[in-house]
Amino acid sequence: MADIDVLQQLEQTQQKGLNSLAGIASEEALLAWRTQYLGKNTAITQAFQSLGKLPAELRPQVGQTANKVKVALEAVLAEKTAALKETSLAHALATETLDITLPGRPLVQGRLHPDTQMLRELYRVFGEMGFQVYRSREVETDEFNFQLLNFPIGHPARDMQDTYFVEAGERGTNPIVMRTHTSPGQIHAMREFSATNPQNPPSVRLILPGMCYRYEQTDARHETQFDQIEGLAVGPGITFSNLKATLSDLARRLFGQQVRTRFRASFFPFTEPSAEFDVECFLCGGKGCPVCGGGWLEIGGCGMVHPNVLRNGGYDPERYTGFAFGLGPQRIAMLRYGINDIRYFWENDMRFLEQF
């Protein structure tokens, strides 16, 4: 009797399972159905578990029936699962639309740093004037940064350029320094060019751009890291007039024909005579402000290359003369764009950088 019950229960389970599946329309309901009919606690599992206790002749029939019911229910479950998936996809396709009129995310556009822009403009202007760019190193020896430029060891003029010394072991009187100016490049350049023809070195007209480092008290016009553009022209018969004309012309090309400039006598160990080159301050209109001080902004030093320096570069000062200058491109950019503090350049503040 009990055995007949098992078979009946199995048949009923199959019937009920098939019937109730027809009404299922969601994946959650299908999951519940699956637990109910194919889970751990169903007529099918019970039938399998009871097999051992049944009389031997009934076992095949009960086992086969349980198996048949299980296979049948699994088959309809698979069909239903596929059908539900298809319906939900069709629904999504019909109802969800892709709004292609929505504006895209803006791409942030990069740009060149104002200092780089200024340098490139200066390369262009100097290029028109016949100067070629010569690259020189940022880490120097004391010998090149000072000694070969006529600053002997212990010379008071070294105080003009507060220096970062690099720890590099015991190097006696020739420590390693972060270059304090681009002028040591003059020696590298002259040596390279004079080596090509030591008896008759070629004339040169060069600019040497790059970073310089000083242990400075920073303020609106001083930073511990700044660019310079060194200029160097060496040849037979070069005069101070050529220097004045070159820098005055540069100022006119950069700021227009009306710009006022001035040369002030000064001192550098590696030029003789020496001068400082000022441009009227556009930030205050020449009245005087925190950037310029007195209405004029010094944008560089200059002078005639000292005979010792020419000699150190392999040029005979009896036959060659030359002029040199060292400009501050960031000072020029400040005048150009109305930037009232040099410290903005390397602060990386987007509000500043995005204006260029």
Q: Where does this chain bind ligand PHE (CB under 6 A)?
A: 181, 183, 230, 268, 271, 274, 301-303, 324-326
Least separation in angstroms between CB 285 and ligand PHE: 27
Least separation in angstroms between CB 165 and ligand PHE: 17
What residue type is assigned to position 214 of the chain?
R
Which is nearer to ligand PHE, 80 or 214 (by Cβ)?
214
Least separation in angstroms between CB 187 and ligand PHE: 12
Q: How far apart are CA 48 and CA 238, in angstroms?
A: 111
What residue type is assigned to position 184 of the chain?
P
Q: By C-alpha distance, which of 142, 132, 115 is closest to 189?
A: 132
CB closest to ligand PHE, residue no: 326
Least separation in angstroms between CB 273 and ligand PHE: 10
Which is nearer to ligand PHE, 42 or 182 (by Cβ)?
182
Which is nearer to ligand PHE, 324 or 333 (by Cβ)?
324
Which is nearer to ligand PHE, 201 or 210 (by Cβ)?
210
Which is nearer to ligand PHE, 187 or 302 (by Cβ)?
302
Least separation in angstroms between CB 228 and ligand PHE: 6
Least separation in angstroms between CB 246 and ligand PHE: 12
Q: What residues does 133 pair with on adjacent strands?
A: 207
Which is nearer to ligand PHE, 9 or 274 (by Cβ)?
274
What residue type is assigned to position 323 of the chain?
F
